[in-house]
Structure 1
Amino acid sequence: MAEKRVLKDVEGKLIKEDNKLITATANMSPLSQKLFEIAVAAIDPNSEDVNTVRIDKELIFKSLELEGVNRNNRLTSMLSNLSDDASFVYTEIDHGARVDVKIKPVYQIKNNYRKPYSEVSFAPEIMPLLVELHNKFTKYPLSDILKMKGKYSIPLYRWFMLGFNQYEYYSKLKERTREQLSEYLTPRIDIIELRKLTGTEDKYKDWRNFKKYVIEIPIAEINKYSERLSVEWSPIRAGRKVVGIQFDISKKYVDEVEENIDSEKLYSDSANSKYTLLLITNQLLSPIDISNRDLIIGIGETLYPRYDNFADKYGFKQLEKHIQYLGKNKPKKVSSLELYLSKAIDNYVAKLESDSKDVDRSKKTNSSVKNRESLPDWENEKPKKYNSEEKNKLNADIDRLFRELGSVD
């Protein structure tokens, strides 16, 4: 029988886990979480003994920053904690009945001091959730996990990747509407569910402490270490009480390996969109921004579908007025233009829908959104007009830029 493979490197390793585990409460320390993820990365689906994996000790020492002469002792202690104390808890529905499930992921560990690797044997019950048998799996880079130190950073990161993966999966298949796709990048979670996800049902009862340790610190760490995600958040209130959290996920970069084939078309379509010209005209984008491929592809994927929905419902002229207003009132410093513009159009849609409901309740005869006094001040402003010389100059600048970009290898 062939010698079992030993995991010696995490570079490029993607973790794949069932969505049940992503939304489960992970009762384990940050070190145990990292050890578990390393062990998952070592799984070889083609192995005769798929439940047992071998991990190079030097990889573990480096990943967990273990130094000194007693590293083997400390490694045995950490592996024992993973085996004895770690668990996942989740709820599923079986024929209409709620079923609470608790799984201890590891049932055996071996750390032979004379061998360069350690062995971890997974419990049989968890293997179907770790070996990809269907498409309800979430994947993420192991390297992201290993950089994080906070206890709540890892479960939140995994949960964000669930929505991000669904967005990427369904956007390629085109099996979801634009609104459904945007919801994957703007997930909401109530405080009770967030506490379950992070295992803080009985911790941080004071909102200020909960906000700091369970939300702000983990998100700062995710934004610092994740290669793909950037996350912002805002509270959802019922009166003065915070009852949930709204997250906004944006993409940091385009994965050259997985998306290189489609990126040229995505970039071209977005750069030549009428919305790009509209943003340039109102100084929300500069012509030189078109050379920023990540930015242009990002707004094309996440912002322009929102603009399509808005224009279909309220008209393109209304969208022009909205963008003109943003151009005149844009803050001096915006951390993410893509996120800023997406939130702006979402907030305006919510405002228009709220105003429409108010009109229906009060039974006013004039239900035209356009004439509502409660709309922003810019609603009644006349759109800026450009003379033919200004239009020709702008078009010439854009044409020149595209010719320059086309000459670049």
Structure 2
Amino acid sequence: DLFAFFKVSDNDKHSRFKQAVEKMQKQAFFQIKEEAGKGFKFKSIVPIPYVEWTDYNDEVKIEFHREIMPYLINLKKNFTQHALSDIAELNSKYSLILYRWLSMNYNQYEHYSVKGGRRAEQVEAYRNPSISIKELRIMTDTVNSYKQFTRFNNDVLKTPLDEINAHTSFNVTYDKIKKGRSIDSIVFHIEKKRMADDNSYKLDDRAYQEDKKQKSRNEADLLKQAMESKYTRLLLDNMLLSPYEMTDTSLMAGLQAHVYPLYDELKALRGLNGVKDHLSYVRAKQEAYSKRNIAKYLKKAIEQYLPTVKLQDLEQPERAKVRGKGASHE
């Protein structure tokens, strides 16, 4: 689901996912201002300090910092929920800042429109929120930049809003409010796109579902091949794989996709007995093997061994002619 969300293809999904995660970790941080006693308490939190994944299955572990959890748990209460699919399409930092602020206001509009608890003019103010230029500069961290309003208007307002209108579920316009000869504040007008305007989202959803079906078919093919493979039997014989682990479809598909092709390379160099010899050696060194990472362990073992075999064949060509006699790991 994460690979699909980040729109990474099968061919380079791990490298592109790594880039997406690194970008997310560098850019994602929360600055929180809370009343405390006679003044305010300020917090800066990096919410995602740890991400872990492998190149042999599609399991991803994302660990959130404990200090951010109270805020995440109360997202709905604080009206800061927004669609991840919207954010994924926004590239400008000003687009992200404005989208989050506009989304927070519109969420309150939707909430109080249904639940009540606010006067009609207050509810409408959430759909048409106003912010002073001073506050907007603080929010976008542009207090000391874009001194000319023309540049500020283009780079911090117009261009980001064009991106928001193109890629999210909002259509947003704005009015500049003057005080004297200067622009004092901005009033935004937020409209939710109607379903008829959302064909692109429906198409994206259909494409996503079709992609999921194709991945499921690919995994099923890999699983079938793995169950029929002679290498699976050899792993069972050497107690490197258990019947219980064979019920893990992701594990078996991962072995077929990433480990068994390397066994084919070894078989071409040393014959099937060479593969058997390698697995016997791996079995003897099993104290280093973790049941949780069997595919990773087997992949690492064969990746480390294959270059040695190839080097032996380069240095001693007569060894390459020998098939089925095994080879020492020493």
Bin the TM-score by the shorter chain.
Answer: 0.5 to 0.7
* Structure 2 residue aligned with 1:252: 193
Contact 1:61 1:67 in 2 (8 A): no
Question: Structure 1's 92 and 254: CA in aligned 2 closer, same or farther, altered over 3 A?
Answer: farther
Matched, 1:162 2:104: yes
Cα shift readout 1:201-228 (whole Å, capped 9, x = no counterpart): 333222111111110011122222232x
Please point out which of 48, 58, 61 is paired with 1:116: 58
- TM-superposed CA distance for 1:251, in Å, is 3.4
* Structure 2 residue aligned with 1:106: 48
For residue 67 of structure 2, give the secondary structure of its aligned residue in structure 1: helix
* Structure 2 residue aligned with 1:235: 176
Question: Structure 1's 254 and 136: CA in aligned 2 closer, same or farther, altered over 3 A?
Answer: farther
Question: Structure 1's 78 and 250: CA in aligned 2 closer, same or farther, altered over 3 A?
Answer: closer
Contact 1:80 1:109 in 2 (8 A): no
Cα shift readout 1:17-65 (whole Å, capped 9, x = no counterpart): xxxxxxxxxxxxxxxxxxxxxxxxxxxxxxxxxxxxxxx4x32441xxx
Cα shift readout 1:248-305 (whole Å, capped 9, x = no counterpart): 22333379xxxxxxxxxxxxxxxxxxxxxxxxxxxxxxxxxxxxxxxxxxxxxxxxxx
* Structure 2 residue aligned with 1:138: 80
For residue 246 of structure 1, give the secondary structure of its aligned residue in structure 2: strand
Matches within 5 A, 1:178-327: 178-227=120-169, 229-253=170-194
* Structure 1 residue aligned with 2:95: 153
- The separation in 2 between residues aligned to 1:169 and 1:59, in whole angstroms, is 31
- TM-superposed CA distance for 1:188, in Å, is 0.9
For residue 114 of structure 2, give the secondary structure of its aligned residue in structure 1: helix
Question: Structure 1's 61 and 226: CA in aligned 2 closer, same or farther, altered over 3 A?
Answer: closer
Question: Structure 1's 75 and 245: CA in aligned 2 closer, same or farther, altered over 3 A?
Answer: same
Contact 1:61 1:71 in 2 (8 A): no
Instruction: Give the number of the structure whose alpha-carbon radius of gyration is greater.
Output: 2
For residue 177 of structure 2, give the secondary structure of its aligned residue in structure 1: strand
* Structure 2 residue aligned with 1:30: none
- The separation in 1 between residues aligned to 2:22 and 2:90, in whole angstroms, is 22
Question: Structure 1's 80 and 219: CA in aligned 2 closer, same or farther, altered over 3 A?
Answer: closer
Question: Structure 1's 238 and 129: CA in aligned 2 closer, same or farther, altered over 3 A?
Answer: same
Cα shift readout 1:146-199 (whole Å, capped 9, x = no counterpart): 233332112211211111111111122221111111111121111222123223
- The separation in 2 between residues aligned to 1:76 and 1:89, in whole angstroms, is 25
Q: Which runs of 5+ in 2 are unaligned?
A: 197-330
Deviation >3 Å, runs of 4+ = 66-71, 80-86
Over the aligned positions, Cα root-mean-square deviation in angstroms equals 2.6
For residue 81 of structure 2, give the secondary structure of its aligned residue in structure 1: strand
Aligned pair count reads: 196
Code of the residue aligned with 1:196 in structure 2: it is I
For normalisation by structure 2, the TM-score amounts to 0.53
More helix by share: 2
Matches within 5 A, 1:322-337: none
For residue 93 of structure 2, give the secondary structure of its aligned residue in structure 1: coil
For residue 139 of structure 1, give the secondary structure of its aligned residue in structure 2: coil
Q: Which runs of 5+ in 1 are unaligned?
A: 1-7, 9-55, 256-409
